[in-house]
A and B are shown apart, each in its own frame.
Chain A
Amino acid sequence: MSIALYILVMAGVTYLIRMLPFAFFQKKIKSVFIRSFLYYIPYAVLSAMTFPAIFYSTGSFITAAAGTIVALILAYFGLPLIVVAIAASLTAFGVGFLPI
């Protein structure tokens, strides 16, 4: 399939999700259940995207696992996104040189 079609669908859906409520929504969502569901969705989606895919992200399970552990520790202590992301990469890169 043409990549242009994929990009069109991707960009179109993403834009509409932002535009429709921004331009036309006036009310507030009252249902606690729906609000809770919408609140949890980003965390749930990001978690499903990350695990177990992260272990395949560097082409080596060992370097990826090392990077994951470092990311988990640094994120736990609330370090900025960029610091966590770069530290995970550097760890994976460094562990790649170990004779294991």
Chain B
Amino acid sequence: MKKNAILLSGMKDGIPIALGYLSVSFGFGITAAGLGISVLHAFIISLTNLTSAGQAQGVSIIAANGSLMEMALVQFIINIRYALMAISLSQNLDKSFTLRHRLIASYGITDEIFAVCATRKEPITPTYMYGIIAVSAAGWTLGTLLGASAGEILPVNLTAALGIMLYGMFIAIILPPAKKSLGVLLVIILSAAFSTVCKYLLPFISGGFAVIICGITAALIGALLFPVKEEKEP
């Protein structure tokens, strides 16, 4: 295939991802604006981070005036899954994927882009990945821009209702696998329970740290009680 055709096929595969991102990042934009983050800053955050959970927790740390240490640790823990995906993807790269291309393309490793790339049979080329990343990132940043701006235009009761969108998406990510895996079910119930205890009984622990402590504890218990034996994609 010619380079242009490969680029186009990547861009085509990016369209459904971009559409999905558009509405979710709209929710992120609303959330960010609601926390007092400017439209420009929300846009820059989306452009430079390209991730939903990390950004959602990130803006709440900014709003709460948290420390940079907390920010770094929280981003590390929330986004550690990308390291796994990166390792997995690195096993099936085309020879043309030189270090320079890896440095650039790693920017775009997200859950959805990983899922599409990982399920391809042929080795992944930089051109293909650039296509899928460009379209997806455009959807993500455009949605953020619209959402953050809309926060100033839309009626308050509507933007308030849109604040639940990101969380709705998180539920849609964690619940279906829990139907098939006892381990995942246990982990999400434990983690939610720990987090609730932190919020009401240990309020001096800041939100970001609470997420880390609860998440790590629940995942450790899950790994001890229900080790994942076969090769599963994260």
Contacts and interface: CB of A to CB of B under 8 A. Distances in A.
Contacts of A81: 20, 24, 169, 172-173
Interface string B136-171: 000000000000000000000110111111111111
Nearest to A39: B228
A57 B56 CA distance: 12
B41 interface: yes
Interface of chain B: mostly helix, strand, loop or mixed: helix
Interface size class of B (residues with CB under 8 A): 35 or more
B171 A75 contact: yes
A64 to B, nearest CB: 6
A59 interface: yes
Contacts, number: 301
Interface in A21-78: 21-23, 25-26, 28-29, 32-54, 57-60, 63-64, 67-68, 71-72, 74-76, 78
B80 A38 contact: yes
Contacts of B210: 48
A92 B215 CA distance: 27
Contacts of A59: 160, 163
12 contacts: A15-B106, A33-B227, A41-B215, A44-B214, A45-B215, A47-B191, A51-B191, A52-B199, A53-B167, A63-B161, A88-B168, A89-B164
